[in-house]
A and B are shown apart, each in its own frame.
Chain A
Amino acid sequence: MVDLATILAGLGDAFTLSNILFVLAGVVLGQFVGAMPGSSQEMTIAIAIPFTLVFTPLSAIGFLIGVNKGGLVGGAIPAILINMPGTPDASATALDGYPMTQKGKPIKALKMALYSSVTGDTFSDLVLITVAAPLAVVALKMGPVEIFALIIMAFALISGLIGGSVTKGIIATVFGLLISTVGLDPEHSTPRFLFGFPDLYSGFPISSVAIGSLAVSVIIARLANMSGGMRPALHIPRDQTADQKRVSLAEYLACRFVLLRGALIGVGIGIVPGIGSTAAAFMSYASTKQAAKDPESFGKGDIRGIAATESANSAVGGASLIPLLTLGIPGSVSAALLIGAFLIHGLQPGPLLFEQQGRLVYGLFGAMIIANACNLVFGLVGLRLWSRLITAPESIVFASGLVLCIVGVYLSTGGIFGVYVMLIFAALGMAMNALNYPVVIFVIAYFLGPRFELSLGQTATILRGDVTNLTNHPVAIVLLLMSAFSVFWLGIRPALKANKRKVSANSSDPLD
């Protein structure tokens, strides 16, 4: 396909001082915006693209890749430190990251997140670099029917495993789907649930819904609970032993299967366009919890929870470039922005890409490897800084977090309307938290809703309205069976068991 000389020339192009500096600048910027609640790497890429026009193509693409990868690492920081995910895909990381912080081990949690993220990312990049072509063939076979079945499976797994109750998980899923129907329908562009607001033609803005229900709801709850004193947002014990601050090699290796599973799930989700890293993180978390001997330790500060989510959400990145580069199909918002940048810089995704632009593509791969190294190095420097920052009084930390959320949503949605929507969903998030409905499932369902509806319409046409035609789609059948099985295994069986125990407990004590 591409001769060795081209590969080496491309990698050589990447490893120049100026390129490394561009990638590093991108990573630093990405980690910063990822860690700032309310701003995201997507927004940053969108803003940065016009400025990159003056760079050489490789520097520009390397910079944007750096922003994207940095953002994935940065998003975990506020999730772990203050239970407020900087990006939606880090919300899974908060499940075990924040309890670790509460136990006084924020540095250890941050380090594990960083190592896991870089591990998953590097694995995914190596898959991209070595087997992109055969995997692209797999991606081709994932048609609308298969994607429909995959989304069902994601819903089944996630609602079964996150939060305490499958019923509440399913209610949250359906509610997210309902909210996602606001706006024009994907089939015939009929306006739905607008109530006279033209701003709602494109639905509730994604960033308003995600930041409002995930981050602002937490901030407001924390502010409401404040009692006036100047307490620091986080108290880190001064006399920590080295053991509580670092991740030993043994601890890292103990997570090797968790990391590998996370990376594989991330790669699998990444090559299927439109599912996204948030779902990957939760699926990895769910299956790790399911496979563990002691599932009850999850959600209470288990380091494996962090390893599972961060390896999976970072592994989506490299793999999502497979459909992007070979077919031009973006798997996520940031991939969609990158495709625009590729085109502007003369990199045309498609079947002729490797032949015509092999050198630039391998330059891009080189830049991705550099970005991973930068992420690791700068991440280790940065996390000390971040964990110092939140030892500031919580009145300052949360108030400024709220301001950042408002500014970020205002910028990314282009107006105050998005901020109002954010505040409405913050109230909704607080209500859901108070009643123990899992907010993250609601948000994932909201993300996947439009895709789900479109796939449903496509599937109905492809099957010609006849369910028996599903027999032509064995992959979809397997996925649907797995979803039914996991709902039974995770939801119905434990409930039956609990009932039985209750019944037998009652009947064994007749004297009471």
Chain B
Amino acid sequence: MILRERLTAAGGLDGLFLSDHRSRQDLAGIVSGDPDAAVTAALAGRRVLLAVGGQMAAARAMIALDGLAARLALVPPKLAPEHIARIAHDSEAEICVSDAEGLAPEALPGLARIDAADAVRAGAETPRETEWALATSGTTGAPKLVAHTLEGLAGGINTAAAPEPGTVWSTFYDIRRYGGLQVFLRAMLGPSSLVLSDAGEPVRDYLVRVGTAGVTHILGTPSHWRLALMSAALDRLSPRYVRLSGEIADQNILDALRDAFPEARIAHAYASTEGGVGFTVEDGQEGFPASLIGTRAGIEITVREDSLFVRSGRTGRRYLGAAPEALIDADGFIDTGDLVELRGERYHFLGRRSGVINVGGAKVQPEEVETVINVFPGVSMSRVRARPNPILGAVVEAEVVLRADAGTDQAALKKAIIAHCRPRLAGHKVPASVRFVDTLPITSGGKLVRRGA
């Protein structure tokens, strides 16, 4: 399966478009440009790093490079320069497709570059299978790269069926992340039109664009949807299909979307960069039916020690990089690290076994925040955990044990600790609240007790 071949073979691209906050482009025009032999030669068979600013440039490059490059590593937006360098290294990139918004001129010295505006003039060659490399959402700061095939990425998509007439996809996500890429592929393999979001765009502006473009199918995290439900522009939307993924979808958000869109199919999907698309639930209830455990078409799901395990052709193939840890167990299963609990006939999600906090779809490793707090003068130790939040699902809360020599003005200390974290951590990792405690529970192995914390 090659993206450009699928689009060309589909014919009937008339009226289909790709749009972002700046422009609207015909899909037919995107796939039919005049190829440039020098550009094609520079990219054919190469391991390519895609580091562009906006999603339109990313989408066009992905169409041009699938089937041509040996590997395509996607750099998510707003990544720190050292993390971009890490992805370039781990993906063994030979050439970078970039633009001024995606990569500073002085970054990645020694790596060949081609401007994204030129790269889209790459022509088709003898098709080869391109390996796609996606970044995880950075649980320990540095993202890990997961290798996928296009077949695996599209494994949860019914590519045999023609899309419903008039289908227009959109997603609050970025298409260089797993969830957003699912929507990009659904649109391209349909084919159907696609409206791209932009990270800096206010919710209202995005919703107005989505409404104007006649979007029928739309994906967001529960947090994206909570925000949309608070926007006066929500009534611009009349979707037929509303999809949630990336976070636990609780009953409140499912009910609120049902009220807001009584005519729409509302589905919550369980998927991850490593594990691929596991399943989709459309009965409007939180959690998932226990009947999904077992073997179905193309996927096996099991629960071991309260954690979900997945085995299927849709999971990642392996991690990339020097001395990568194993992604897939010897028996072919991937441990998702997601804890579940059976209540009656339904499983419910409890969160991450590792204690990773999910702040509106962005992951926070507690240890990373604790390390920053623990160097603050007067701090003895700290424990970072999720504080439930109705807007983002969770925010970061720190419990701090002070040394005897710490000051006594607790309100001032709280402010100082948060101010200390702010320049050292991404915004969503900075504690929203700090509580002072006398002690923290430690296991017999000397580790902080996290589970159930």
Is B one of A's binding partners?
no
